[in-house]
Amino acid sequence: KERNFDNHDDCEQNGLGQKSFDSVEEVVRKRVIRTRKSKRREQRTRSAFIFAGLLSLACNAALLVLVISPFNEVVDKSNDLFLETQDLVDDIDSNIHTIAASRENATRIVQSNVFDIVSFCPNITESEPLESELAGLTETVSVEFHEVDDSIKKRLNRVNNTFIRVQDGMNRIQQAIDTASEYLWLGPAFIVATSFTVTFALFGVGMAMKENMQPCHQRGMTYLVLPLLISVFVACCATAVAASVGVMVTGDACVGYGSPDRVILAALEMKNFSKSSDEYLFAESYTGGCTTAEPTEALWELRNTVESTIATIWYHMSNVDSVGREKLSQQCGKDITVLVEGARDLANILTNVRKVLTDTTETLRCDEIHPLYVKAVQDTLCTDVASGAAWTFMMFFF
């Protein structure tokens, strides 16, 4: 510009002075405009970064309140629910073992005593009362007991097989709860690390806005904070994708397929469980709000059969006592005390079996199990877990 002024006369003589001067002013003006636009862009960028950083900090706080704390409560509730269910399963397992031991004792009594009236009493044809009373007792012991014992064995085997699968599922649930509890600290740790990273980035942006950024600070922002921000971005994207999958799965299981009840029954059908199997009948009743047939009806019928056998044994023993043991022993030709005492022991054992069957039936009633299902599936999975996954997706998306 000075050179243009110094050569003003020469330029005017050549007709170029004013034109060159105007072009220089135009260049300067454009550079000033570009500089102002660049500063405005930088200001907008920094403002947007500050807004995003503050939003990230707010989302971290919301994650602690809406996701992490409720998830801790879900884990605690799941532990309590698991322990409650495990106590129930242990009670059923204990009852099954008790009945099995009682069956062994009863079988030992029957096999150790001669309950065949023909082989036991050599004088059976000489006394009608002897035949009618002892024959009824020995027939009850030798015939009806074996029928009842076979029914108990078959029914308990089916119940035991069902609860073996239940126990296997409980073990897997326990492993999942233990794993979740073990890595539960990762959520708060990630939130704290993200908050520190965003805070450092906001500090750097503030220094840049004041134009007070030192070279060492610039290198720290470039080689430390920026890579951390990129890592946080990638982690947030991955978590948001995982949470979206969780939202879709829980939504499909709890709402999209109709209800979690249908999902459970469909899963059993996929595992080739027929609709008449114990597993399917138990699941259908427990998940359906007890609207179908009570799944313990077969156990209750078995309990009634055992009770009927007990009543028959005591009836015949009463008849034996009414006739008189000494008289029957003389007419039998052999002391019948061992037979009567064996029948009494058998009746006592069957009484214990009846009590255990009654306890098992009451424990497995639908109105006892259905509340556990509601807590585990509808309250925990379809409410707490689903809402937690939805909040996680929204917070990490932002």
Q: Kindly write down the DSSP assignment for every residue of 338-389, as one continuous string.
A: HHHHHHHHHHHHHHHHHHHHHHHHHHT-HHHHHHHHIIIIIIIIIIIIHHHH
CA 137 – CA 265 distance, rounded (Å): 47
The alpha carbons of the chain give a radius of gyration, in whole angstroms, of 42
Q: Both tokens of residue 366?
A: 């639908």
**What pLDDT does residue 355 have?**
93
Quick one: which of 153, 146, 156 has its CA closest to 309? 146
pLDDT digits (tens, 9 = 90+) for 309-366: 899 888 888 888 887 878 877 777 777 788 888 888 889 999 999 999 999 888 888 8
pLDDT greater at residue 319 or residue 16: 319
**What pLDDT does residue 5 have?**
42
- The alpha helices in the chain, defined as continuous H runs, are 2-6, 8-14, 17-63, 69-112, 117-120, 128-139, 145-182, 186-209, 215-220, 226-251, 260-270, 278-287, 297-323, 325-332, 337-363, 366-373, 386-397
CA 14 – CA 4 distance, rounded (Å): 12
pLDDT digits (tens, 9 = 90+) for 178-192: 777 777 777 778 778
pLDDT greater at residue 14 or residue 122: 122
Residue 179: half-sphere exposure toward Cβ, Cα within 13 Å: 6
CA 226 – CA 63 distance, rounded (Å): 23
CA 341 – CA 192 distance, rounded (Å): 76
The C-alpha angle with vertex 361 and arms to 355 and 366, in degrees rounded to 5, equals 155
Question: How would you label 185-220 residue by residue, b for 16+ Cβ within 10 Å and e otherwise?
Answer: eebeebbeebbebbebbbebbeebeeeebeeeeeee
- 319 near 65, Cβ under 8 Å? no
Q: Both tokens of residue 369?
A: 């199990």
In the block, residue with structure tokens 């309990």: 303
- 102 near 152, Cβ under 8 Å? no
Indicate the pTM of the whole model.
0.68
Percent of the residues in the chain that have a pLDDT greater than 70, as a whole number:
77
Q: Both tokens of residue 301?
A: 């019928």
DSSP-based three-state secondary structure for 228: helix
Distances (CA, A) of 355 to 77, 158, 358, 364, 373: 33, 19, 5, 14, 27
- 357 near 155, Cβ under 8 Å? no
**What pLDDT does residue 1 have?**
39
pLDDT greater at residue 301 or residue 188: 301
Comparing 201-215, 233-247, 381-395, the range with the smallest average pLDDT is: 201-215
When mean pLDDT is compared over 63-77, 138-152, 163-177, the highest value belongs to 138-152
**What pLDDT does residue 8 have?**
46
E strands, 140-288, are none
- 323 near 129, Cβ under 8 Å? yes
pLDDT digits (tens, 9 = 90+) for 274-297: 888 877 888 888 887 777 777 788
Quick one: which of 11, 173, 73 has its CA closest to 385? 73
CA 221 – CA 203 distance, rounded (Å): 10
Provide the residue type at 155 as one letter.
R
- 79 near 178, Cβ under 8 Å? no
**What pLDDT does residue 348 have?**
92
CA 324 – CA 173 distance, rounded (Å): 61
DSSP-based three-state secondary structure for 211: coil
Chain Cα centroid distance, residue 373? 10
Distances (CA, A) of 347 to 103, 304, 360: 12, 14, 20
**What pLDDT does residue 352 have?**
93
- 38 near 30, Cβ under 8 Å? no
Q: Both tokens of residue 146?
A: 């074996």
CA 63 – CA 192 distance, rounded (Å): 11
Provide the residue type at 381 as one letter.
L
Mean pLDDT score, 297-305: 88
Contacts of residue 17, Cβ cutoff 8 Å, sequence gap at least 6: 4, 7, 8, 11
